[in-house]
Amino acid sequence: MDCVGTYRDHGGLERMKTIMEQIPVLRAKAVGLPATLTLAALIAFAGGAPAAEPYPDHPITLIVPYAAGGSSDVLARLIGERMSKSLGQQVVIDNRAGAGSRLGIEIAAKAAADGYTLLLADMPHTIIPAIQKGVHYDPVRGFTPIGLIGTASMVFFVNPAVKAETVRDFVGLAKADPEKITIASGGIGSATHLTAELFQAKTGIKLVHVPFRGAGPAMNDLVAGHVQSGFTTLATASSVLDRVRALAVASETRLATPASIPTFRENGIDLVVEHWWGVLAPADMQPEIAARLTGDLKAILDSQEFAMRLAPLGVTASHASPAQFRALIESDTARWAEIVKSVGVSVP
C-alpha cells in the first residue's frame, strides 16, 4: 500500500493464494487425515461435536406431586395437552404423590435445569417447609418460575348423609359431638389440611383429620361416605358435585357458578383461602429456555378457549409475570409459616 487509493501487489497475492491452498494438506498430515480432505471438512472436523438441537428435541416431563384426579392433576393435563402442541414435543404427566406433595417437589428440585423436567406447583409448595422437618428444597431460590396458571377458592363439602344444610349447622353438630366428625385432606401440610385447621381454629370445633395421598382420593372417599367432610376446589370436585353437598366457599364473594355457594363470611366465619397453581422449573435454567416456556404458557392462558375450560372448575386464569409469581411464592411462604405457628400444626 503506497498511498491513498493505490495498491501494488508485487507478487504477494499469488504467494498468499499458494499458502492458503496448502493449509488443508498441512493440517491433515498433522492429525493423520487424508491429504485430500477439503477445507470445509477439515473445519467441521476441528469444530468438534455438531451444534445442539433447538429446544425442545424430546418429550418434557411435568411432575404433579399428587395422585391422579385432584385439581393439580386436572390442570396439569389441560396445560400439558396444549403445551405439547405449541412446543412440538409431548408433555408427559408424571404423578409423584407422597408426603403432602413434598416427594414430587423434591424430585423436581433435584432435576437438571435443562427444560425437560417441570413441576406443577400449588400453594402447599410454600406450606411444606413450615410444617415438615428435613425439607430438602427452598420454595423460592430452588426453582425458576415459569408462570402462574390461576387461582381458586377452597370449598367446604360434606357427604349428603351429614345432617347439615349450612356451615353453621355443621359447626353446631361438631360442637355437640367433639372429635367425632371426620374431615379429609390431600395430605399432611396440604392446602386442604391447613384450610381445615384454620376452619377449626376460627370456629372452636374439633374434627378428626384423615389425610390422603392427594385431594382426588380424599374426595372419592368423601363421596363413598368413608369420611364426612373436607375442603377442596371445584376443579377437584367437578365430576362429583351431584354426589356431595357444598356448604360454603372460602372466598370474598360467591363463586360465579350455577351452584352459587354461600361464603363463610355470610355464615359469620372469617375464612378466606385462595389456592393457586403454577409451573416451576429447577433453579438456574437458561434464560432463553425459561422465556420460551413462559411465552408458550402465556399464550395458553391468554386464550379465550382455555379460560372457558377453567370457568366450570372455579379457576381464574392468571396473567402474572414470572417475577410476580416469584413474589407470590415468597409472600405465601412467610404467611403460612406464621399461620402454622399460630395454629400449632405439625407432622406427627
Instruction: Answer yes or no: do 300 and 161 share one domain.
Output: no
Examine the pLDDT at 69 and tell me if it is beyond 80.
yes
25 and 100 assigned to the same domain: no
With CA atoms as reference, report the closest residue to 117 among 189, 186, 65: 65
Q: Containing H/E element for 255?
A: none
Cell numbers for 302, please give them. Answer: 391468554
Number of residues written out for the chain: 348
Place of cell 409448595: 125
29, pLDDT greater than 80: no
The tens digit of pLDDT for each residue in 70-103 reads 889 999 999 999 999 999 999 999 999 988 889 9
Cα dihedral 4/8/12/17 (nearest 10): 90
Q: How many structural domains compose the chain?
A: 3
List, in order, residues 6 or more apart from 10 with CB less than 8 Å away: none
pLDDT tens by residue, 105-156: 999 999 999 999 999 999 999 999 998 889 999 999 999 999 999 999 899 9
Cα atoms in the 13 Å half-sphere on the side-chain side of 75? 39
Same domain, 34 and 66: no
Strands 155-158 and 274-282: unpaired
Q: Is residue 4 part of a domain?
A: no
Q: Are 283 and 263 members of one domain?
A: no
Residue 173 lies in a domain: yes
Give the strand pairing for 245-249 and 91-95.
Answer: unpaired
Read off the pLDDT band of 50 (50, 70, 90).
low
pLDDT at 7 over 50: no
Sheet with 245-249, edge to edge strand ranges: 208-211, 182-185, 229-232, 155-158, 245-249
Quick one: pLDDT at residue 268?
A: 96
User: CA-to-CA distance for 292 and 294, rounded, in angstroms?
Assistant: 6
Helix or strand holding residue 275 (H, E):
strand 274-282
Contact of 131 with 188, CB cutoff 8 Å = yes
Amino acid 37: pLDDT: 43
More confident residue, 139 or 25: 139
What are the pLDDT digits (tens) for 180-235?
A: 999 999 888 788 999 999 999 999 999 999 999 888 899 999 999 999 999 998 88
Domain of residue 94, CATH code: 3.40.190.150
pLDDT at 34 over 70: no
**Bridge partners, 116 (sequence order):** none
Q: What is the domain range of residue 37?
A: 12-46
Mean pLDDT of the chain: 86
Same domain, 312 and 165: no
